[in-house]
């Protein structure tokens, strides 16, 4: 779906003299169009682009999962599901959570299948944040966080994580005020690829619990945790042994089905019930036949894909060694790369320069109050990634 141009957004009078401008609320005007989406559209306009801008897996959905979706459609599982989700997917998720983080449905937690992880984030924020409430989030951040908080009437409080991009309890604690309602953490992170340790996450979870603040753990990239960052073979998680938070995960990134729009939120039963109430009036339910199919996802072996992404990460690290002080990604499929003075001094200038070489990257100011970096996604074929890294090396060193 194409985003409207800013000129279209600013136009006051449409054809026929109908004044649309007066209908648009200040809340809607305050939201910025996604800089990632603009980069994606730029890539579509170039001939043979090297597009390292979009965070979309480049592998296909596992065949058994596709067949499960086809079978569900053929079996006429095409109507509404319960807002909370289809029984087989809920059961598969509970089994996974029990093994991974030690949560049980019988221990006062609940879960909700949502229309993507962004759906889960929106429901959580709209259910808990009112005018003037504060939400602490990392800087750099995922682009949707501050926009959603703004729509809810809240205030985003940025936790400066430079230069190591680690959102620790010590950094968060000094930002807490009586207005703080929520702390958002994403690990593995977008845009930095940083994975917090189990100890760091446990400390942050304990801080929020002690201060009666909701910790929202966005773990959409949990399956993309590289071996050196794993804890007992698993993604470190603030939820492990601690049900007093909201855990958000999904299927699109992990299983290559981003267009299916499937995520889930798990946490305290009362909170999940209020989120489900909102979902009834906003999304109704996630797509039913695709929910049925997603129950098969937990049977898919992702280790060959993870090994491929580790190799791509290593390509990035090797290409930039000695040129910049890169925080090595330990998860997700992004690198947040510092800009040198020679190459423009800021992410926006760098992104503009590399377009001349057919390369699309995202400037750091899309994700941050600073513009000292740019983000690349290495969810791209190896030959394209190598070509893009050569452009980056050349521009970083010669301008």
Assess contact for 235 and 188: CB atoms under 8 A: yes
pLDDT at 172: 98
234 has which bridge partners? 231
What confidence category does residue 134 fall into, taking pLDDT thresholds of 50, 70 and 90? Answer: very high
The CATH class given to the 63-299 domain equals alpha beta
Binning pLDDT at 50, 70 and 90, where does residue 310 land?
A: very high
Q: Is the pLDDT of residue 244 over 60?
A: yes
Q: What is the pLDDT of residues 311-360, one digit of tens each?
A: 999 999 999 999 999 999 999 999 999 998 887 789 999 999 999 899 99
**Residue 115 confidence (pLDDT) above 70:** yes
Give the model confidence (pLDDT) of 294-306 as tens digits.
999 999 999 999 9
Instruction: Enter the tokens of residue 53.
Output: 């801008």
Statement: residue 267 has pLDDT above 90:
yes
Tell me which CATH code domain 16-60+302-398 carries.
3.90.1150.10
User: What is the tens place of the pLDDT at every residue in 199-211?
Assistant: 999 999 999 999 9
Q: How far is CA 1 from the centre of its chain?
A: 19
Average pLDDT over residues 255-274: 95
Of the pLDDT bands very low, low, confident and very high (cuts 50, 70, 90), residue 41 is low
What is the domain partition of the chain in residue ranges? 16-60+302-398, 63-299
Per-residue pLDDT tens digits for 167-194: 999 999 999 999 999 999 999 999 999 9
Residue 100, C-beta contacts closer than 8 angstroms, at least 6 positions apart: 234, 237, 240
Q: What is the pLDDT of residue 107?
A: 75
CA 341 to CA 275: how far, in whole Å? 47
Average pLDDT for 146-169: 97
Between CA 346 and CA 370 the distance in angstroms is 9
pLDDT of 104 reads 85
pLDDT in tens, 62-94: 999 999 999 999 999 999 999 999 999 999 999
Positions of E strands within 131-262: 134-139, 155-160, 180-186, 214-218, 246-250
Q: Which of 198, 169, 183 is nearest to 100 (CA)?
A: 198
Does residue 103 contact residue 97 with C-beta atoms inside 8 Å? yes
pLDDT tops 80 at residue 106: no
- At 2, is the pLDDT very low, low, confident or very high (cuts 50, 70, 90)? very low
Mean pLDDT (the chain, rounded): 92
Stretch 247-264: mean pLDDT, rounded? 95
pLDDT of residue 1: 41
At residue 26, the pLDDT reads 83
pTM given for the model: 0.92
Task: State both tokens at 240.
Answer: 């492990």
Adjacent-strand bridge partners of 267: 110
Q: Whole-angstrom Cα distance, residue 148 to residue 125?
A: 7
Q: In terms of Cα–Cα distance, which of 357, 347, 334 is closest to 46?
A: 357
Q: Which residues contact 295 (CB under 8 A, 6 or more apart)?
A: 68, 86, 88, 89, 91, 92
């Amino acid at each position: 779906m194409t985003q409207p141009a800013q000129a279209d957004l600013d136009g006051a009078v449409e054809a026929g003299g109908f004044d649309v401008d007066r209908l648009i609320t200040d809340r809607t005007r305050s939201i910025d169009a996604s800089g990632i989406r603009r980069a994606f559209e730029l890539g579509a306009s170039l001939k043979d682009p090297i597009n390292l801008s979009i965070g979309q897996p480049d592998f296909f959905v596992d065949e058994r999962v596709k067949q499960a979706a086809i079978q569900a459609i053929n079996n006429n599982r095409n109507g509404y599901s319960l807002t909370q989700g289809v029984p087989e997917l809920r059961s598969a998720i509970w089994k996974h959570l029990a093994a991974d983080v030690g949560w049980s449905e019988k221990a006062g937690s609940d879960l909700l299948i949502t229309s993507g992880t962004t759906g889960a984030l929106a429901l959580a924020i709209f259910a808990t944040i009112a005018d003037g409430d504060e939400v602490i989030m990392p800087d750099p951040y995922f682009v949707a966080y501050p926009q959603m908080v703004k729509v809810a009437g809240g205030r985003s409080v940025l936790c400066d994580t430079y230069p190591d991009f680690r959102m620790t309890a010590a950094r968060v604690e000094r930002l807490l005020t009586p207005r703080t309602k929520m702390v958002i953490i994403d690990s593995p992170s977008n845009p930095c690829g940083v994975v917090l340790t189990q100890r760091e996450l446990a400390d942050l979870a304990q801080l929020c619990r002690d201060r009666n603040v909701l910790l929202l753990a966005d773990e959409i990239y949990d399956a993309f945790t590289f071996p050196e960052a794993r804890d007992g073979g698993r993604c470190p998680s603030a939820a492990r042994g601690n049900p007093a938070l909201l855990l958000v995960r999904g299927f699109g990134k992990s299983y290559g089905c981003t267009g299916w729009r499937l995520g889930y939120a798990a946490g305290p039963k009362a909170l999940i019930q209020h989120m489900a109430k909102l979902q009834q009036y906003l999304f109704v339910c996630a797509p039913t036949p695709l929910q049925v199919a997603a129950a098969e996802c937990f049977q898919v072996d992702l280790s060959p894909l993870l090994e491929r992404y580790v190799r791509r990460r290593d390509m990035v690290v090797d290409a930039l060694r000695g040129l910049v002080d890169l925080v090595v990604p330990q998860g997700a499929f992004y690198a947040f790369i510092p800009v040198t003075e020679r190459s423009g001094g800021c992410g926006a200038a760098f992104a503009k320069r590399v377009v001349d070489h057919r390369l699309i990257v995202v400037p750091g100011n899309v994700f941050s109050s600073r513009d000292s970096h740019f983000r690349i996604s290495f969810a791209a074929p190896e030959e394209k990634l190598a070509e893009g890294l050569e452009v980056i090396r050349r521009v970083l060193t010669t301008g």
